[in-house]
Structure 1
Amino acid sequence: MGRGERDVVAGGARLYAAAQAVGDDHGRVVEAVRAALKPMLDEAVGRELDAIPVARLQDVTEGRLRLGNVEKSGLRTVGQVLEAGPYRLRQIPGVGQRTVDQMLAAARRLSEAAHETVAVHIDVDRPEPRTTALVLALHVLVEAGPDARRAVDAAAGLSRRLGPLLADARPAAGRFRMLLAGRDNKARALAAVAEIRALVEEAEQAGLPELFAQASVDLLRGPSTDVAAWVDFELRSAEYYSLLAELSGGVPDAAKAEGFLPDDIAEHVRSQHLDDSHRRVSLRGYQEFGARFALARRKVILGDEMGLGKTIQAIAALTHLAAEGHSHFLVVCPASVLVNWTREIEARSTLRGMLLHGPDRHDAFADWKGRGGVGVTTFDALRGFPAPGGGEVGMLVVDEAHSVKNPKAKRSQAVALWAERCERALFMTGTPMENRVAEFRNLVGMLDPGLAESLGERDALAGSVAFRKAVAPVYLRRNQEDVLTELPSLQQIDEWEELSAPDEEAYREAVRAGNFMAMRRAAYLRPEQSAKLNRLREIVQEAGENGQKTVVFSNFKDVLGVVREALEASPGGTPVFGPLTGSVPAGQRQRVVDDFTAVAGPAVLLAQIQAAGVGLNMQAASVVVICEPQIKPTIEHQAVARAHRMGQVRSVRVHRLLATGGVDERLVKMLENKTRLFDAYARRSAVAEATPDAVDVSDTEIARRIVEEEQARLGTTDEQDEQDGQGE
């Protein structure tokens, strides 16, 4: 037995210690979260049990209990029964020990059920010591990110394999131990050394020692300050709530999270492995199931309601396929979400996103064909690209797939050809399809012609359950109320749009004139081809199809006028109220809001952001659209708070419409670093909440700087124009 074997055992022991350390470090952080969560969870469960009448205990015991004397004694809720305990219950006349035992057992079952279903909500506008402690504990895990989870999982697997091998190899750790070991122990030790050597080499090739070391550093670092943790929570609340749901055990009902799929299909999907090595974001359980569904079923429609993260699920499927060796993927979507897709791909994965759009799209397509990556293009541009041969494209993703429901349209035919040629296809739509069997059949026909032929109107007439069963092989839909029990009630989405040619022309004219306010609203001056307006229509239409009301905010009256004309001209007939502007008397503003609220079903309310941002309650709306970024972020916060407030029963989605490459991008970048931490304090100030103008971020200076920088970037100063004119 030589030094080589001893070195192998020592190396294995070091790797095992590092793996154990990662697990221990992660365990301490998880325990800190659970310790911070417990009092809040107990309080929430207590409120739940205090709302359940004692009579419910009869339901749990199938009517075996007689509770008349218990109620007469003053114990009227399940919570009060548990608090009373066995001694006090036994003192109630006519209540014997057997009844006490049955009553407490039933009450504990209800308590256990409440612990599994109750949700703890974190109020960002009213932080308190308990919620701050929870956010701080969660912040460590969120900051550590998916790499820490990957490290913990890898460490657990490695520990399970290395531990027994190191025990068997113990005689090989020393020369004398080996001499004293018997023949069987020596043979076992040598075999273990060989396996340890292979495991260590495998781990080093996978970079596990470095992964473990970095994870331990991240898990031990801790949050910097309370304010930093709260600000990060606002920016990444979905990730915080995802971890909270996982650690609290408050997961949604499995059948709901799996879209009520039949057992055989659900089991097939569950067995699908999901590789996360190229992914930079954690998934909620229902999102993991959605990605697995797309992979296991190969050609599917993901019909989740808006706000459930269909894009993230698609990226998870793409990164899994990339880990398996696929190199080419294509996303087809409306022009209004092109930029969003490329940004999400870059932010959420290690994959390379490539824009296949604009005058150079054919050159970009050739580059994508040669180098690979995730090509992102529009329905119209797709028609000009040659369809692939079999096996070239790992997955075709079609966003807003209801846009290709007409089989006679050229865009639909192009998508159908690509879907046929690609091994996997993922169609995504937030529009419910249950009552649109003819349209749905057309989409299914691109993915599974046989299933499409078997679908008939009777499936819809028989109701949602029959429809879901008939289309289960290709269709998965989940609703917010089924899977977002722990998600925060506010989701903020930046909608980055690429200006159309007319938009760009109007913007250049505003820059040339040095008119900052005109630059801010230039994206709406040519409504026929306005990229922002097109996206706004899509958001309102999808919200309406899901039965949701929308509030649209803008700083500018003329922008609201353009929006009103566009929405009233759109098919569907969604009622439009407003606009609420500074010229509308305060009393009349509330009447407009009341009329908007009274509408049964979808409706749109238009409001000037400063006129409607104070004093009005718009909680009937669950979708908010902000037409342009505001110079003072507090104005946005206050406007959003009109919808996102007590009494709002659905989560609120806020869509900020932003244009790339101009005043919007400069405003966002200039303000985000300067005001986020300050705003985290200001929003918690009663004075700042009441008077948003008290937050001074130097409007005039910001406007001047942006105008000068944009004139320099576009070469549109007055001097430049004069020189250009003299040269002609």
Structure 2
Amino acid sequence: MTGGYPSPAQPSVPSGRVKPADQARQLISALTDLVRRGTQLLQLPEALRQSARQQTAMLADEQLFALLQQRPVADLKDLMSKGTRLGSLEAGGYRTVADVLRTHPGHLEQVPGVGSHTVQEVVAAARKLADQLRKESRVRLDPAAKPVGHTQLLATLTAARHADSAASALRGPIAQLGQQTQPLIPQAERVTSSWRMTFAGRKKKEEARAAVAQLQAILADPAVVALQYTVNSAEQATDPRNYRPEQLWQDYELDAAAFNALLSTVGGAGQVDDREAAEGFIGPELRQKISAEPLDTSLLNTTLREYQAFGAKYAIHQQRSILGDEMGLGKTVEALAVFAHMAAKGQHRFMVICPASVQINWMKEIERHTDLAAHLLHGRDRDINGSTWLSQGGVAVTTFGTVSSLDFLADADIAMLVVDEAHYVKNPDAKRSQAVAAVLTGAQRALFLTGTPMENRVDEFRNLVGYLQPRVAHAVTTADAIVGAKAFRRTVAPVYLRRNQEDVLTELPDKIEVEDWVQPTRQDEAAYRDAVQGRNLMRMRRAAFESADSAKLERICEIIEEAVADGRKAIVFSFFLDVLGTIHRALGELAMGPLTGSVSAPMRQQLVEDFTRRQGGAVLMAQIDAGGVGLNVQAASVVVIAEPQWKPSSEEQAIARAYRMGQIHTVQVHRVLAKDSVDERIREIQENKRLLFDEFARKSDAKESDARSTDAGMHRPAVLDDESVPKERRVILAEQHRLGLQ
């Protein structure tokens, strides 16, 4: 919400010097008005969404008309009977499809050489083309041009977001206030009339005066005073007229994903086929039951897209299932929505088991998207954090390698277990599979996450289903997969929900950007510490790829594996040639290139063409300063940036190689970042933050006392804010200070 709002008026409690009748009127008016205003705020989320729907429909019509103005009448030939001639219409000045649709058919028939039959065919074809374009087009907010209509829609969406928060905060208090005051107001109204009081009996008078006293106490209650402030503030925040355009667009650029997710929910219902695809092609009976499942998002701090809400409801309803959405569709957020729902219903302990490469991502996503506490059960503090989790509840995050050593899980009473990258346990005889199975036995509910398509891996799929619903596993046969992906999904619908990007295309933005944070391994940390000790900034930036046990390399390989399994091509960018070489060797025959500055222009183009023509999965390795300029690589729909660059523009130029006109897939951008490293400092520079400021704020709050936060390290050196010192040197000093190496 923007600043500059008037301060809420001080709530007034009628003075004792006021006449009893006037005092009663003021009390009744103040309390009934507060309940009325609060009730109106509870209705605003849907009202603002309806307004956004209308605005979106108008923008869609404008967008459609602009498209039709660009389509010549000749484009209608393929939609008409052979032999229908359009030359006379064009000669008469009707050159575009838009010209045809905005003209009455009777006027078209007056054009020389144009008969009624031709007009009927042309108009029908124009309407058919318009319907096709309407289905395919989506309204997207344009932060570059900032059209007035887009700004107005953004203001409505902003108000709707605040209305959601206000409704969540006010629903309980307003209902309670109504229950308190409703029986008292009729009695207190007697005091407002001297005539009624004169003829009332003693008991009625006492009841009326007591009701006034109770209403006065209610209005003076600190909780009700606070409620008045909340209502005043919410009324300001939910009025779209209160937002400045420049602030709206600034907020949008900071959190575009949340705004786009909300926009996707107000764009109008899709076609029946689209809805069936977005709901995983499951049968109508089960789909109806899942759609009716309530979903409490009061502890969730993000807006779910419609298909994500359906996925969360599916997991809740089915209790033990597999969510197999394609990479980039938000399986993590869907799982967190389930946690948030169950926590709101009184459940306490939840657990995530995942590869070590994504544990930090889970921690960050829990903190960002929910009000639940996150506990990392990995490393030296796992037992301490585990004890806190057992006593306080929240979401515990551990790894496949650690879970077998957590003895306290036997009696943890886990409400919901999520196993990320569940194909890691496809072999039931492996130790990690057995460790996961042991935890699964004690969990009330379970959700497996895997983006790997299962249609062609029936044996693996059967093993995964066996952990969750053995009866369904026994019924799955190879023949089920032979009949095709959609039929397979219908067959296994009780346990498996998968949506591809194409299934939910109308709900997706053109570009999905993800920060993949990894926890460095011990070998990574040793190499990095040595680089910091030697004040070698270039080595610090690529130290994460030196060891044979590289967390970054593992995560990149996982991203590529999933992309290839989905039939997508990828491009991997790095500033460093040796990093590209390391990744190239790990990927083997999938990798092509590298595309570097030393490669001639003709050879670069040839490399891109070979990459485009290559059948199946492929990964193009590219040096960011070379591959990020002057080439179009629309064949790649997955972009991986191996380390952050000093200038955000370098990353944006690289992403633009794939994310441009001609790209038919949603582009997935993965920025792979190492925690507790120079990556964090470079991100601070990119975001214009003070070096190490957040790091030391966290230490101050937590009063940590480990090797990295000795007494000498509990203050920020002034040199970190001295812009006369080159940023590269300040970054080295910051990391030396953080690690206690000065």
Q: Aligning the two structures, in what range does the TM-score lie when normalised by the shorter sequence?
A: 0.7 to 0.9
Distance 1:32 1:246, change over 3 A: closer
TM-score (norm 2): 0.80
Contact 2:156/2:240 (CA < 8 Å) preserved in 1?
no
**What is the deviation of 1:137?**
2.5
Q: 2:157, 2:262 within 8 Å by CA — same for their partners in 1?
A: no
Matched to 2:262, the amino acid is: L
- CA shift at 1:373, angstroms? 1.1
Map residues 496-507 of structure 1 onto 2, 5 A cutoff.
496-507=517-528
CA distance in structure 1 between the partners assigned to 2:402 and 2:39 by the alignment: 50
1:248 is aligned to 2:273: no
Offset from partner CA, 1:235-282 (integer Å, 9 cap, x none): 422222222233332647221221111011111111111111111111
For the 8 Å contact 1:431–1:542, the answer to whether it is kept is: yes
Partner Cα distance (2:724, 2:635) in 1: 33
The gaps in structure 1 that reach 5 residues or longer are 676-696, 718-728
Q: 1:12-58: per-residue Cα shift (whole Å, max 9, x none)? A: 33211243267569857974785487245422355269589657988
Distance of aligned partners of 1:209 and 1:288 in 2 relative to their CA distance in 1, 3 Å threshold: farther
Q: Does 1:395 align with 2:420?
A: no
Are 2:717 and 1:702 equivalent residues in the alignment? no
CA distance change for structure 1 residues 281 and 319 in 2, over 3 Å: closer, same or farther? same
Give the RMSD, CA atoms, in angstroms.
4.3
The verdict on how the C-alpha distance between 1:4 and 1:164 changes in structure 2, with shifts beyond 3 A counting, is: closer
Inter-CA distance 344–297: structure 2 relative to 1 (3 Å threshold): same
The answer as to 2:576 corresponding to 1:556 is yes
Paired residue for 2:504?
483
Out of 140, 150, 153, the position equivalent to 1:121 is: 140
In the TM superposition, what whole-angstrom CA distance separates every residue of 1:368-389 from its partner, at most 9, and x where no partner exists? Answer: 2222110000011111223756
Alignment of 1:241-640 (within 5 A): 241-249=260-268, 251=270, 253-386=274-407, 388=409, 392-526=413-547, 528-568=548-588, 573-574=589-590, 576-640=591-655
Q: Give the match for residue 718 of structure 2.
A: none
Q: Tell me the CA shift for residue 4 of structure 1.
A: 7.9
Partner letter of residue 736 of structure 2?
Answer: Q
What one-letter code is carried by the residue in structure 1 that aligns with 2:63? E
Alignment partners' CA distance in 2, 1:599 and 1:156:
62
What letter is aligned with 2:390? K
Residue 352 and residue 55 in structure 1: after superposition, are their counterparts in 2 closer, same or farther (change >3 A)? same
- Greater CA drift, 8-17 or 640-649: 8-17
Question: Residue 144 of structure 1 aligns with which residue?
Answer: 162
Equivalent residues of 2:377, 2:396 under 8 A apart: yes
Q: Which residue of 1 aligns with 2:13?
A: none
Does the CA-based 8 Å contact 1:275-1:319 persist in structure 2?
yes
Given that 2:575 and 2:624 are in contact with CA atoms closer than 8 Å, whether structure 1 keeps it comes out as yes
Separation in 1, partners of 2:517, 2:728: 21
Distance in 1 separating the partners of 2:433 and 2:471: 19
- Would you say the 8 A contact 2:48–2:160 is kept in 1? no
Distance (Å, rounded) in 2 between the aligned partners of 1:590 and 1:598: 12
Between 254-263 and 210-219, the greater mean CA deviation after superposition: 210-219
- Equivalent residue letter for 2:158: V
Contact persistence 2:41–2:166 (CA under 8 A): no
Aligned partner of residue 510 in structure 1, secondary structure: helix
Q: Which amino acid in 2 is paired with 1:609?
A: I
* 1:274 alignment partner, SS class: coil
Q: CA deviation at 1:363?
A: 2.9
**Over residues 269-297 of structure 1, what are the superposed CA-to-partner deviations in whole Å (9 max), with x where a residue is unaligned?**
11111111111111111111111111111
Partner Cα distance (1:595, 1:296) in 2:
47
For normalisation by structure 1, the TM-score amounts to 0.81
For 1:416-469, what per-residue CA distance to the aligned partner results, in whole angstroms no more than 9, with x for missing partners?
Answer: 222232111011111111111111111111110000011111111122233112
Q: Percent identity?
A: 40
Q: 2:151 aligns with which of 133, 136, 142?
A: 133
C-alpha distance in structure 2 between counterparts of 1:456 and 1:355, whole Å: 39
Are the counterparts in 2 of residues 331 and 396 from structure 1 also a CA contact under 8 Å? yes
Counterpart Cα distance in 1 of 2:128 and 2:66: 14
Greater RCO, CA 8 A, separation 6+: 1
Give 1:44-55 correspondences, 5 Å limit: 44=64, 47=67, 50=71
Match of 2:707 in 1: none
| Structure 1 contact 151–215 (Cα < 8 Å) conserved | no
Q: 1:419 to 1:76 in 2, by over 3 A?
A: farther
8 Å CA contact 2:516–2:670 kept in 1: the answer is: yes
Distance 1:123 1:76 in 2: 29
8 Å contact from structure 2 (residues 524, 551) kept in 1: yes
Instruction: Evaluate the alpha carbon distance shift between residue 76 and residue 327 of structure 1 in structure 2; reply closer, same or farther with a 3 A threshold.
Output: same
Deviations 1:94-151 (A, max 9, x none): 5399x97x99799768757755653123455x42534762575366347637414646
Q: Which residue of 2 aligns with 1:711?
A: 736
Whether 1:219 aligns to 2:238 is yes
TM-superposed CA distance for 1:586, in Å, is: 2.5
1: distance between equivalents of 2:270 and 2:169?
Answer: 23
Q: 1:145 to 1:16 in 2, by over 3 A?
A: closer
Q: Does 1:87 align with 2:102?
A: no
C-alpha distance in structure 1 between counterparts of 2:72 and 2:504, whole Å:
23
CA distance in 2, matches of 1:515, 1:70: 71
Report the equivalent of 2:683.
Answer: 668
Structure 2: give runs of 5+ residues left out of the alignment: 1-19, 691-721
The Cα offsets for residues 154-185 of structure 1, whole Å up to 9 and x where unpaired, read as: 8999999999999999977943797999xxxx
1:671 to partner: Cα distance: 2.5
SS in 1 for 2:680: helix
